[in-house]
Chains A and B, each alone.
Chain A
């Protein structure tokens, strides 16, 4: 019985784990970059420009950025498609519910699917808002990300959408990081507590780090 990784439920989980970890490592870097906003418009805009010139002169202008974008798109699609297919299988495997229902599992565990959908929608909004500027409020300015960020977080909906998404990402990482470790066979009895702690710390750091920017704009620290 020949099986490819993609045909197996365990294989698809592996794809989810690897693509999830790729996105997670990107988020850590993204969050750290965001925090440069607290050092003023000059440094933040300069950092944003540097992202386009990384790797020069070996790489051409924006090549590295596009490479990262391609890897991310592949990761997002792989993660989403395997999540969709695995969820379909799971729902089919348990068609009838129990009459006597009990609250099960933690909130983070139960909300992985809806959290994922929220995050997928947010990614689309986020790119249209701060990369292409299509849905940006008040005149998107290419190459002036500091002003664009301030504009976004000066609208109530900009804040609400962002904060909901950041809370969702925190929850998703809390269960997702630990689960990825189990899927990749890295978990063990002795390592379990450490892995759960790392998952919680990562989730907390990313949530706080990302929330710092809208909070900074709302309180006037960033303006």
Chain B
């Protein structure tokens, strides 16, 4: 396959960026999207040019490092991560636009790499449980009803890639934050911090400069792990409950 790539190039956080056009040839339809970018970078290095910087790590769709907006879609046309997107989703001769996540809370560091540490700080605000240290307890020591376990697991699938923020017209992090809150708030292990967790994490989300939810549903459409839009509803419900219960 021969492709035309239009890639966002930006030297550093302070520099102005622009789209640059590149031609790549000899792309196999079995290559992953990142392997296609590797091919481009090899050529750029051979030509003595600066390779395109992009985030990647496990390349198995489970770490949440890869982050590209491909033809206007976070993670591209398939419901998966960019590393699990294959070139068979494109045709010979296609022009592909590749851009970084866009949100003021995710500033561009270089080219397609953005700073997602805002997510870490939201987790630090309450995305944990007070667990006793030492040997792991018996698995059946704390009974968890099956529907609750399923609900928690569905939300635990969030890999924190930030596609929800990239897809949201308001740059909101509601889907990410709600997934993390719902995952722990439904479980007995998460009960001691149930109220403070939702209040603190939502407050941190606001402080990071993410936008608010207007229920467009773009986040849930973009999410490679299929976190549903109704997660945000559950978070709102938890937030209202906590606001009523906690007087501080």
Contacts and interface: CB of A to CB of B under 8 A. Distances in A.
B99 interface: yes
A112 B214 contact: yes
Interface string A164-195: 00000000000100110111111111001000
Contacts of A79: none
Interface string B168-209: 111110000000000000000000000000011011011001
Interface string A78-118: 00000000100111111111111110110001101000000
A175 B240 CA distance: 21
A156 to B, nearest CB: 35
A100 B69 contact: yes
A10 B71 CA distance: 31
Interface string B208-246: 011111111110000000001110111111111101000
A109 B169 CA distance: 11
A94 B164 CA distance: 13
A90 B172 contact: yes
Nearest to B172: A93
A11 interface: yes
A96 B107 CA distance: 11
B202 A93 contact: no
A185 B236 contact: yes
A86 B210 CA distance: 11
Contacts of B212: 9-10, 12-13, 86, 89-90
In this complex, the member of A2, A14, A100, A112 whose beta carbon has the largest number of chain B beta carbons within 10 angstroms is A100
Interface residues of A, number: 45
B13 interface: no
Given A93-B105, A98-B69, A183-B236, A109 B99 contact: no
B104 interface: yes
Contacts of B104: 92-95
Interface in B68-124: 69, 71-73, 97, 99, 102-105
A199 to B, nearest CB: 11
In this complex, the member of A1, A175, A184 whose beta carbon has the largest number of chain B beta carbons within 10 angstroms is A1
B213 to A, nearest CB: 7
A6 to B, nearest CB: 11
Given A99-B99, A102-B72, A179-B215, A184 B230 contact: no
5 contacts: A13-B212, A94-B170, A109-B214, A183-B213, A185-B236
Interface of A: 1-3, 5, 7-14, 86, 89-102, 104-105, 109-110, 112, 175, 178-179, 181-189, 192
Given A92-B104, A182-B229, A182-B236, 16 more contacts: A2-B248, A9-B202, A9-B212, A13-B213, A90-B212, A93-B105, A93-B210, A94-B211, A99-B97, A102-B71, A105-B218, A182-B215, A182-B232, A183-B233, A185-B234, A188-B233
